[in-house]
Amino acid sequence: MKTYGSEPGAPSPVQVGISELAVSEGDDTLKSYGLGSCLAIALYDPDSEIGGLAHAMLPDGDAAEHNSDRKPGKYADTAIRALLRRMVERGASYTDVEAKIAGGSDMFEFDSFGDGVGKRNVDAAKAELEKLGVPLIGEDVGGAHGRTVEFTPGTGRLVVKTSDENESSVSEL
């Protein structure tokens, strides 16, 4: 049971762990820490200031045998649909929703990783957004470094922090 979200006094920022998603509005910040190959997907409606963040682990929930219904946040495709549905239920307007994504790095060059496990997450998210007609207006994906993201639905700001061997940086999408 997750009891955070809209209750007063809830921890801020709200942590969105792997396979989780959260919908919120206004100045509440949603945060996902230490993304490597996982993908942060932020959707928001600028008019209603309703938005959500998903921390997806795998690309394709429709193809998965188990558990995408119970944990929609686990897969890029089902996470996007679940975010949209919950935002619309809360009052967002479907046609105004925009998307930003960050993460999907390929940290390792292991043989078993093939073309890269992070890239598959990025591709799946882009395909699903296109299918649903949600414009992707910002992205910071790929590479071989980790990212921590903070998303504010009210402004649509997605702050991406990196901190690898070469440099630490903060950018804004």
Partner 1 sequence: MKLDVNALGTFYRMAREGAGLAAGRLTHMTGVETRVGVTKLNFMRGREIRRDFGETDRVGVRVKLSGAIEGHSLIVFERENAVRVIETLLAEADPDADFDVDSFDRMSKSATTEVGHIMNSGFIDGWADVLETVIDVSTPEFVEGRTADPFFDGIEETPDDDDLALLFQSRIEAVDTEISFSYYLFPNRTSMASLLERLRASGGIEYDKLDGFDRMAERGAEEVAKTATTLTGIDTSVEIRRLNFVSLETIPQQVPDERLVSVAFEFDGVPSGYLVFLFDEESAHEIVDAMVPASIDEDGFGQMGTSAIKELGNIMASGFLDGWANVLDTAIDHSTPEFVHDYGAAAVDPVIVKLGANQEFAFVFDTVVVADGREFDCEVYAIADESDLERALNDLDVDRIEETPTTAEFQEVDTV
Single residue of 1, 95, 115, 133 touching partner 1 by CB under 8 A = 1
Note whether 24 binds partner 1 by CB under 8 A.
no
Residue 38 is among the residues annotated as catalytic for this protein: yes
Note whether 68 binds partner 1 by CB under 8 A.
no
- Taking the C-alpha atoms of residue 117 and residue 106, their distance in angstroms, rounded to an integer, is 7
For 147, list phi and psi in degrees, rounded to 5.
Answer: -145, 145
For 39, list phi and psi in degrees, rounded to 5.
Answer: -125, 130
Strand extents, DSSP E, 14-66: 14-15, 21-25, 30-35, 39-45, 50-56
Residue owning tokens 């959260």: 22
Single residue of 84, 148, 152, 158 touching partner 1 by CB under 8 A = 148
Single residue of 25, 49, 77, 106 touching partner 1 by CB under 8 A = 106
Catalytic residue among 23, 38, 58, 87: 38
Binding region for partner 1 (CB under 8 A) out of 42-50, 77-85, 107-115, 132-140: 107-115
- Taking the C-alpha atoms of residue 30 and residue 172, their distance in angstroms, rounded to an integer, is 15
102 and 160 Cβ atoms separated by less than 8 Å: yes
Q: Please identify every residue annotated as catalytic.
A: 38
Interaction site with partner 1 (CB under 8 A): 1-4, 7, 9-11, 17-19, 33-38, 57-58, 66-67, 74, 105-113, 117-118, 121, 145-148, 163-166
